[in-house]
Amino acid sequence: MTFEVRDLSKRFGTYTALQSVSLRIARGELVALLGPSGCGKTTLLRILAGLEMADAGTVTFDGVDVTHTPAAARGVGLVFQHYALFEHMTVFENVAFGLRVRGQPKSKIVPRVKDLLARVRLEGYADRAPSQLSGGQRQRVALARALAAEPQVLLLDEPFGALDARVRHELRSWLRRLHDETHVTTVLVTHDREDAFDLADRVAIMNEGRLEQVGPPGDVFRRPATEWVMRFLGHVNEVPLQGVAAPAVGYARPHELEISRSPSEPPAFGARVRRVQAAGALIRVELEFDGNRSLVAEVDEGRFEELALRNGDAVFVSPRQLRVFDGGGGI
């Protein structure tokens, strides 16, 4: 299902959670709302679910205005960070809940729940209590429960937030496979870049109640629209721009800095190696220039051996790419 929000605004007292947010999500798409805590992404998700009402703006599902449709009638599936399973029910009853409250006959409920439990690989757990399951298993039950009533949209609110790193990775790739099978239009809220880049077809980056940039993960990473997005998505080096009248800076990622032993033509400039961190796919070199200004560069192993860098070495740095943003957007 295609859905669209237009000019959504929401305030809580004096705090502005959303400022005129517009976003269109295509049928079968998986979109991540990415941003720091307090940026309004959860508020947006809750408005989509119908748990929160917007002060202004509209929400449409397939062209139908659902702005004032109550949550129970929207046909969305919602998964919470802390699972929100019904602790007094078995796993089976949890998954069956959405079907039972809709008055589905038992003959439909039993096969549907069994099918879903198989899909989330919890076949043998139907009679367990939620408290007997691990975090990853509980989140899979929550997912099966959300999918049971065949929602038009699946909303995931920090679904991996309460899980440890290994389970998080597993569940993430598993969720992507599940999405590729079911093609349910999905919105994922997360503050974790990896979650968003790993899973989403498109990433919507939010800051202070506004959408900063929307696009495929590769696009937003390579071509950040604002300085804020650039900083939010990874380490940023500030490099002084030469040959410009007014003092200005350009921005470069660590892997976009070239290090050499011999001076090349501008914009290369001199720097000194402060520290080398060699554990990783790329080797991380911390540099200083202009006295106390620092840079981080990443070079591959071959180049690193070629350069034979040691702490205190004088080198030349030339950015392969420099981004310049005009005006605001600073943190």
Partner 1 sequence: MQSSELTESLALTTPRTRRAQPWFARFALTSIALGFVGIVIVLPVVAVFAKALNDGVFAYFRAVVEADALSALRLSLWIALLVVPANTVFGLAAGWAIGKFEFRGKMLLTSLIEVPFAVSPVISGMVFILAVGPRSVLGGRLLELGIRIIFAWPGMALATAFVTFGYVARHVITVMEASGRDKEEAAIVLGASGWQTFWRVSLPGIRWGLLYGVILCNARAMGEFGGVSVVSGHVRGVTNTLPLHVETLYDDYRFSAAFAVASLLVFLAVVTLVAKVLVERKIKVSS
The C-alpha atoms of residue 140 and residue 151 are separated, in whole angstroms, by 16
Closest CB to partner 1 among residues 154, 230: 154
Coil, helix or strand at residue 284:
strand
Residue whose entry in the numeric block shows the structure tokens 């997360």 = 190
What residues make contact with partner 1 under the rule CB under 8 A? Answer: 49-51, 71-78, 80, 82, 84-89, 97-98, 101-102, 142, 145-146, 148-149, 162
CB of 25: closest distance to partner 1 in angstroms?
18
Closest to 143 (Cα-Cα) out of 164, 123, 116: 116
CB of 145: closest distance to partner 1 in angstroms?
7
Residue whose entry in the numeric block shows the structure tokens 């506004």 = 210
For the record, the structure tokens of 121 come out as 């690989």
Phi and psi of 164, rounded to 5°?
-80, 165
CB of 327: closest distance to partner 1 in angstroms?
39
Phi and psi of 314, rounded to 5°?
-90, 130
Closest CB to partner 1 among residues 145, 191: 145
CB of 198: closest distance to partner 1 in angstroms?
24
Closest CB to partner 1 among residues 94, 226: 94
CA angle 298, 303, 309 (to 5 degrees): 75
The C-alpha atoms of residue 122 and residue 32 are separated, in whole angstroms, by 26
Closest CB to partner 1 among residues 164, 301: 164
Closest CB to partner 1 among residues 51, 126: 51
CB of 79: closest distance to partner 1 in angstroms?
9
The C-alpha atoms of residue 212 and residue 193 are separated, in whole angstroms, by 15
Note the Cα 41 to chain centre separation in Å.
10
**158 contacts: CB under 8 Å, gap ≥ 6:** 42, 81, 189, 190, 191
CB of 50: closest distance to partner 1 in angstroms?
7
Closest CB to partner 1 among residues 142, 171: 142
Closest CB to partner 1 among residues 89, 282: 89
Note the Cα 306 to chain centre separation in Å.
37
Closest CB to partner 1 among residues 80, 269: 80
CB of 211: closest distance to partner 1 in angstroms?
24
Closest to 154 (Cα-Cα) out of 62, 27, 36: 27
- Are 144 and 85 spatial neighbours (Cβ–Cβ below 8 Å)? no
CB of 237: closest distance to partner 1 in angstroms?
36
Coil, helix or strand at residue 267:
coil
